[in-house]
Chain A
Amino acid sequence: EAGVAQSPRYKIIEKRQSVAFWCNPISGHATLYWYQQILGQGPKLLIQFQNNGVVDDSQLPKDRFSAERLKGVDSTLKIQPAKLEDSAVYLCASRRPSSYEQYFGPGTRLTVT
């Protein structure tokens, strides 16, 4: 089966600009996650979707970050406006309903200058 797809793979923007990342989970995976991984740290959960509903967004900086999962398939994560500390790899993961195992995409590396 095809894996989790993410785009773009790399993005460089200036602070105060906006950026959007896209994720296409594995077919049939109802649960979708967005993680932020800062260099030298483990991934931190930003938001979890179950189909097109938000399950957990407690660690999402809602003043600048937003995410949506229309139709319960693809998802978009947006940052507006970006700050220097948003430089990180943004990972998308998905999971089928009957399993605990999460499958991760290759990530998008964001550099904010």
Chain B
Amino acid sequence: KQEVTQIPAALSVPEGENLVLNCSFTDSAIYNLQWFRQDPGKGLTSLLLIQSSQREQTSGRLNASLDKSSGRSTLYIAASQPGDSATYLCAVRADYKLSFGAGTTVTVRA
């Protein structure tokens, strides 16, 4: 059974600092890995999707890396802003199912 872990559970940084969010998974036989953002009372918004054959994906200030062999992914958010405050979840796809981590709740202080 795939287990997805995200550490830390919560993170607070001053505005402008770079954010580093970690995700680890136990079974490396995945099709892809996806990072989501969840705002309070809202659903999930997809940020980046990395196919298993890729090493990283970039979108604006966001960069996600994937090391499938070691079961790790990292989401980098450059020059954080208060609007980046949210919960970030990673999810891995295997056997057409998404397995989610519990998320990292980020607070960016103005």
Q: Which residues of A pack against B, CB within 8 Å?
A: 4, 40-45, 48, 55-56, 91, 93, 100-107, 109
Contact = CB atoms under 8 A, between A and B. Distances in A.
Contact of B100 (A42, A103, A107, A109): A42
**Which 6 residue pairs are nearest across A and B when measured between Cβ atoms?**
A42-B100, A104-B43, A104-B44, A106-B43, A42-B102, A43-B100
Given A41-B102, A42-B4, A101-B49, A107 B43 contact: yes
B76 interface: no
Contact of A100 (B32, B42, B44): B32
B44 A91 contact: yes
Interface of B: 4, 31-32, 34, 36, 41-46, 49, 89, 91, 93, 96-103
A39 to B, nearest CB: 10
A56 B44 contact: no
B46 A101 contact: yes
10 contacts: A41-B102, A42-B89, A42-B91, A43-B98, A45-B98, A93-B43, A101-B34, A104-B45, A107-B41, A107-B42
Contacts of A109: 41
Contacts of B46: 101-103
A93 B91 CA distance: 14
Contacts of B36: 104
Contacts of A103: 46
Nearest to A4: B43
A100 B93 contact: yes
A105 B49 contact: no
Contacts of B96: 55-56
B49 A100 contact: yes
